[in-house]
Amino acid sequence: MPAAGSIDTIWDQIAILGDAARATPIADLFAVDPRRVEDFSASLDDLTLDFSKTAISRAALAALLDFARATGLETFRDRIFAGAEINPTEHRAALHVALRAPDGAAMTASLGGKTDDASAYVTLQRDRMRAFVAAVHEGRIVGATGLPFTDVLNIGIGGSDLGPRMVCEALTLVGPTHLTPHFLSNVDGHAFAALSRVLDPARTLVLVASKTFTTQETMTNARAARDWLAASLGDAAVGAHFAAMSTNAAATAAFGITADRVFGFRDWVGGRYSVWSPIGLSVALAAGWDAFQALLDGGHAMDQHFRNAPLARNLPVLLALVGIWNVNAMGSRTHCVLAYDRRLQRFPAFLQQLEMESNGKSVLLDASPSPRPTGPVLFGEPGTDAQHSFMQLVHQGTQPVPVDFLLAAIPDHNRPEAHQILAAHAFAQAEALLAGKSLGTVQQEMRAAGASDAEITAGAPHRVFSGNRPSNMILFRRLDAFTLGRLIALYEHKVAVQGCIWNIDSFDQWGVELGKVLAGRLLPDLTHGTAAAPHDPSTSALITRFRSLRGEE
């Protein structure tokens, strides 16, 4: 890492370039630069990132690439694949790339001051998963009554839910389904009540995803599922209907899950990066092992691109630099992801955890406060639904919101006219954000439609679109398991690149801990009415009111 003074100088240069960029509308950049589309896009086979509809100039892109090199990005990238301790606050590697590497990759990870043979462990667990999935699909593993499983219920939260839920929905909405997937994450009892109405306990395989097997929400839901199943089939049936993704052998055994149904993963696998691990068992059970393997292969293909492509043509690097430009040069505090594909409905929710849990940090690696903004607030929905909800703000709100559009060229349904309409809307939204609509154009249109001068004066300003709002387009041939793997890995590496440049730890998540601790302290207040610790006046008053509404005080 260069000296702090030199880094500050580069940040100052980027801020100056941002000020200069505001003077030129994005649309005008195309008029003066005939090669802008070609030079402000990059591809990996059929997967293309077009970032030409952003305010980045050639000088800004060059400065950002130089900055990436100055911050040691290439060395940082090498350290990721070497299994080095790049998560210093937890003294861990972040070697999720090993989870999708082929057998024999010989990758090792730093783990608690020791070297872990990551590839050997991954191969062991992957082989066990493959054998288990085959036995379920072939009817060699069945429920307690002898009936084959038709449904799989994944119980987890955070990365143990968002990743497999998103992938299962993407791959099984119109694709082949071996077992119907269901997901339970929220500890709210209404969630399990709804599932218990549609699931047959005799034909349901339950997966409990918790590394420690102590996560409060997950274990509360797991006990509810256990009670539900035992009430119908008897307590002895539990072992036939449960499997676990955990490292706590004693706790899983006490729960009634036999060792051959417990699949492990190492501490160098963070929750939000774990869909490639046994946490993805629900994906393999629902979509099939071939689909799960294709997901791994797609992720590995993006890993190889990230590892070997020059920074100026490297998709994760370019996507990360565009995001840094938007946040630190242009002042954006939000980011929108619009997947024009119903199968990616949960992709924005998955990215919310991936990006905001990773880079929602205000402390640098040296424990000093960050002098500049880091990760933006991320939100999104599928297009075209989003056009009829929050896109009003994206088009005409007071703050520009950068957008990522995702679109497949070929759908997996037999309604080509619907896909043409969908694609037209995706391209139109990006074009509208770029070009907008001027007051003069609006006035002409209203006048041509027969509006009076008074109506034009009163109504025209409301129909003006400022334009000049940045967007990226990520275009690919079709959304299959391989492409989905590439997309997930693309954003994973984007996050890591941004963390390196912002000089923060993208792989810890201490911000989720405080609420858990306080919830544990609050629980006795709610259940017994005895305060285990003092609270602020508002919280104390609300607890009293809550108990009063329940008739307990």
Q: Is the four-CA dihedral 543, 549, 550, 553 of positive or negative sign?
A: positive
Identify the DSSP state of 309.
S
Q: Residue for token digits 């770029």?
A: 434
Retrieve residue 23's tokens. Answer: 């003077």
Retrieve residue 503's tokens. Answer: 């000089």
Where does 210-345 have alpha helices with state H? 216-233, 238-241, 249-255, 281-287, 289-308, 315-324
Q: Which of 91, 516, 552, 553 is catalytic?
A: 516
Q: Which of 357, 419, 492, 493 is catalytic?
A: 357
The CA-CA-CA angle for residues 129, 344, 400, to 5°, reads 135
Task: Respond yes or no: is residue 182 known to be catalytic.
Answer: no
DSSP three-state, residue 204: strand
Strands 242-245 and 151-155: unpaired
Task: Respond yes or no: is residue 388 known to be catalytic.
Answer: yes
Give every CB contact of residue 62 below 8 A, 6+ residues apart in sequence. none
Give the residues across from 443 on adjacent strands: none
Task: Respond yes or no: is residue 516 known to be catalytic.
Answer: yes
Cα–Cα distance, 25 to 293 (Å, whole number): 45
DSSP three-state, residue 116: strand
The CB-side HSE value for 506 (13 A sphere, CA atoms) comes to 26
Main-chain phi, psi angles of 6, to 5 degrees:
-70, -35
Q: Which of 190, 388, 417, 462 is catalytic?
A: 388
Four-CA torsion 16, 18, 22, 23, nearest 10 degrees: 40
Give the residues across from 338 on adjacent strands: 381, 405
Catalytic residues: 357, 388, 516
